[in-house]
A and B are shown apart, each in its own frame.
Chain A
Amino acid sequence: MIRDHKLWLILAVLASAHLIVLWAHFFAPYDFASQERAIPFAPPSRLHFVDPEGHFHMRPFVYLWEPRPGTETLGAYVEDHSQAFPLRFFVRGARYKIAGIFDSSWHLFGVEEPARIYLAGSDDYGRDQFSRLLYGGQISLFSGLMAAGVSLALGLVLGALAGFYGGLVDDVVMRCAELFLALPWLYLLFAVRAFLPLHIPPTQAFLMLVLVIGMVGWARPARLIRGVLLSAKERNYVLAARGFGASDFYLLRRHVLPEAYGLLLTQAALLAPQYILAEVTLSFLGLGVGEPVPSWGNMLASLQKYYVLTSYWWMFVPGLALVSVFLLYYQLCKVLQEQVKLVRF
């Protein structure tokens, strides 16, 4: 058992980020596709505690955004102080389904119509960036995690075959791995993507991303696992067990593979952020999940227009989320590397 508060802290933060994103229906005030065409690029709503008369309110409230009179520019708004809309918790809003079965319409927070609460501003269709960030996290965070799973599973099977059996299998698998490592990996990813259809429904696009990213990156973990197994299978207790007539499968499961568990964990922490970035890059360039379904990549894509880039800072929010997730994963990786040296699994 690992006794390291830092490790558990990082894991807890990461896990809660994933859970919040998973329950985006509840935590997000709006549906990811709900539009408010009248106010594109609305800045983040300001939460007020003090009204124009100077009275203090315990419950924060927001005002309506109104286009600034006399201006034609997008995103020039003033607050309409005539009516306040208090922030409410556990409100009924857009309907959604829990696990595809239970109907619900509870949301963690919201304000009454016609006001809208934009914690992170709105995009060019007036869609809530915060809600889209949460829904987009479902795609970005989980595609990274699942693709890392695919890579590790492939790497484990092929690496174990190559390392444990050696000979011809080893040669074939390792030549293939070298082939995959020889190409610059983003180019390889793009090349594989090029041979799949361009416009596909979101669910399929998600699965495709997971599989493509995961399968392109199998070579490195496979090589590392092979290396560990090569030394592990020569240990005396393995030889002894073999002498007593243990089967290959038993040896692998019981004596050899446990040596690779630490490596698997650190590799997972290393690959997941890389793959999140791969998904973001693909979606950013329009090769991943398509609109209106959000991913952090296609949310950032609007920054390719220079006027968006220079005028609306809140469009950077998915990028900030990305950087913080990366920092967490790197810390996790660092702590794991230190721990794995100390602890035998």
Chain B
Amino acid sequence: MLSFLFVALAPGDYFEEMRLNPQISQATVAAMRSKYGLDQPLPKRYFRWMQSVLRGELGFSFSYDTPVRPLLVARAKNTLLLTATAALLSWLVAIPLGVWSSSRKAKWLDRVLTLGTTTLLAIPDLMLALVLLLIALRTGWFPTGGLHDIRFSRLNAWGKVEDTVAHIFLPVMCLVLGSLPILFRHIRSALVEVLDSPFIRSARGHGIPEGRVLFLYALPAAANPLISLFGFSVGTLLSASLLVEVLMSWPGIGPLLVEAILARDIYLVIGAVMFSTLFLVGGNLLADLLLYLADPRIRME
């Protein structure tokens, strides 16, 4: 828990260092600079920025001419929707696959799954996204960009859900395929270890059905490292979604960040990174809570 407190405090210090970089004000014209207060000395600007952060505005975006926060909040919702769906789906797929594979260790099914995930591991998200885009464009099965259809506001409630699902399918698919191999491998190795232990052998000896043994006996025993993995995987998922969002023009934080870097919109960049850290901290907090719920030993302390 201490490390979480530390992480929550970290961005402030980190960006302080960043703000000392003299490159910040080079790109903007002199008039604009004075308008946004960029011609003022660094400590003063830093002070103003901190004030704005404390007010909850997180600074001012030059290219959008508004405070940073509303911009980011609108985008962050989409990123959250995308990554949360992807995380949920990839775990829902990875757990049964991992359990199945570990229960048939070294049989052909296990070999096929292991080989498949190893190959998938070597294909970077970038290529995965491009190939999926290609398939979508060639077949026309899925819309290839954006969050909603143009007619979105005129659809009824069910139509809205349907439209969102159709749009989210491609990026989610890409993220799931990208994160699946690592999850699968960890789940498999954790379960293989547990399945060797005496209490599983005794459970099997008592004639308890195999499915029950796997999911009610072995999986909870292997849950601890997997829950820590969940916290860890949030970070990878966020990094992957940054790229996928840009490629599939999903209106999340990713495209905004790239745009902001190209436009030298410094406060927006800082804000975007802050938000991503917030997500990561949130994910880790969730993992800790899950660990607390899952492991009686931790609850005792």
Show the binding face of A for B, using Cβ within 8 Å: 175, 178-179, 182-188, 190-191, 193-198, 277, 280-281, 284-287, 300, 303-304, 306, 309-310, 316, 319, 322-323, 326-327, 330
Determine if A323 and B127 form an interchain contact, defined as CB atoms under 8 angstroms apart: yes
Give the shortest distance, in Å, between A333 (CB) and chain B (any CB): 11
Determine if A190 and B242 form an interchain contact, defined as CB atoms under 8 angstroms apart: yes
Is residue B122 contacting chain A, with contact meaning CB distance below 8 A?
A: yes
Determine if A195 and B18 form an interchain contact, defined as CB atoms under 8 angstroms apart: yes
Known: A190-B258, A191-B270. A326 touches B239 (CB 8 A): no
Determine if A277 and B126 form an interchain contact, defined as CB atoms under 8 angstroms apart: yes
Interface residues on B, range: 35 or more
Determine if A186 and B122 form an interchain contact, defined as CB atoms under 8 angstroms apart: no
Q: Provide the residues of chain A in CB contact with B6, threshold 8 Å.
A: 175, 178
Interface of A is mostly: helix
Give the shortest distance, in Å, between A140 (CB) and chain B (any CB): 12
A-B contact pairs, 28 of them (CB 8 A): A178-B6, A178-B10, A179-B10, A182-B280, A182-B281, A183-B10, A184-B238, A184-B276, A186-B238, A186-B243, A187-B272, A190-B269, A191-B273, A193-B261, A194-B261, A194-B264, A196-B23, A287-B261, A287-B262, A300-B130, A306-B137, A309-B134, A309-B137, A319-B126, A319-B127, A323-B124, A327-B119, A327-B122
Give the shortest distance, in Å, between A338 (CB) and chain B (any CB): 15
Determine if B123 and A198 form an interchain contact, defined as CB atoms under 8 angstroms apart: no
Q: Which parts of B154-190 form the interface with A (CB within 8 Å)?
A: none
Determine if A280 and B126 form an interchain contact, defined as CB atoms under 8 angstroms apart: yes
Known: A303-B130, A309-B130. A182 touches B277 (CB 8 A): yes
Interface of B is mostly: helix
Q: Contact check: which of A198, A281, A322 meets B262 at CB < 8 Å?
A: A198
Q: Output the nearest chain B residue to A329 by Cβ-Cβ distance.
A: B122
A264 to B14, CA, bound (A): 28
Known: A191-B18, A309-B133. A281 touches B126 (CB 8 A): yes
Give the shortest distance, in Å, between A248 (CB) and chain B (any CB): 30
Q: Provide the residues of chain B in CB contact with A286, threshold 8 Å.
A: 262
Q: Provide the residues of chain B in CB contact with A323, threshold 8 Å.
A: 122-124, 127
Determine if A182 and B10 form an interchain contact, defined as CB atoms under 8 angstroms apart: yes
A68 to B123, CA, bound (A): 36
Q: Provide the residues of chain A in CB contact with B23, threshold 8 Å.
A: 195-197
A277 to B6, CA, bound (A): 30
Determine if B269 and A194 form an interchain contact, defined as CB atoms under 8 angstroms apart: yes
Determine if A184 and B235 form an interchain contact, defined as CB atoms under 8 angstroms apart: yes
Interface string of B10-48 (1 = CB under 8 A from A): 100110001001011010000000000000000000000
Q: A178-B6, A287-B258 are in contact. List 19 more A-B contacts (CB 8 A).
A: A175-B6, A178-B7, A182-B10, A182-B281, A187-B239, A190-B261, A191-B273, A194-B260, A194-B269, A196-B23, A197-B23, A198-B264, A287-B261, A287-B262, A300-B126, A319-B126, A322-B127, A326-B124, A330-B118
A281 to B239, CA, bound (A): 11
Give the shortest distance, in Å, between B234 (CB) and chain A (any CB): 8
Q: Provide the residues of chain B in CB contact with A306, threshold 8 Å.
A: 133, 137, 144
Determine if B124 and A284 form an interchain contact, defined as CB atoms under 8 angstroms apart: no
Determine if B130 and A322 form an interchain contact, defined as CB atoms under 8 angstroms apart: no
Q: Contact check: which of A186, A198, A285, A310 meets B239 at CB < 8 Å?
A: A186
Q: Contact check: which of A184, A287, A304 meets B247 at CB < 8 Å?
A: A304
Q: Which parts of B261-301 form the interface with A (CB within 8 Å)?
A: 261-262, 264, 266, 269-270, 272-273, 276-277, 279-281
Q: Output the nearest chain B residue to A320 by Cβ-Cβ distance.
A: B127
Q: Provide the residues of chain B in CB contact with A178, threshold 8 Å.
A: 3, 6-7, 10
A223 to B266, CA, bound (A): 31
Determine if B127 and A183 form an interchain contact, defined as CB atoms under 8 angstroms apart: no
Q: Output the nearest chain B residue to A181 by Cβ-Cβ distance.
A: B235
Q: Provide the residues of chain A in CB contact with B247, threshold 8 Å.
A: 304
Determine if B24 and A195 form an interchain contact, defined as CB atoms under 8 angstroms apart: yes
Determine if B257 and A190 form an interchain contact, defined as CB atoms under 8 angstroms apart: yes
Known: A286-B262, A326-B122. A195 touches B134 (CB 8 A): no
A183 to B269, CA, bound (A): 14
Give the shortest distance, in Å, between B166 (CB) and chain A (any CB): 18
Q: Output the nearest chain B residue to A309 by Cβ-Cβ distance.
A: B134
Q: Output the nearest chain A residue to B281 by Cβ-Cβ distance.
A: A182
Determine if B239 and A185 form an interchain contact, defined as CB atoms under 8 angstroms apart: yes
Known: A190-B257, A310-B138, A323-B123. A183 touches B118 (CB 8 A): no
Give the shortest distance, in Å, between A174 (CB) and chain B (any CB): 10
A178 to B3, CA, bound (A): 8
A186 to B235, CA, bound (A): 9
Is residue B121 contacting chain A, with contact meaning CB distance below 8 A?
A: yes
Give the shortest distance, in Å, between A298 (CB) and chain B (any CB): 12
Q: Contact check: which of A185, A197, A285, A316 meets B235 at CB < 8 Å?
A: A185
A284 to B124, CA, bound (A): 13
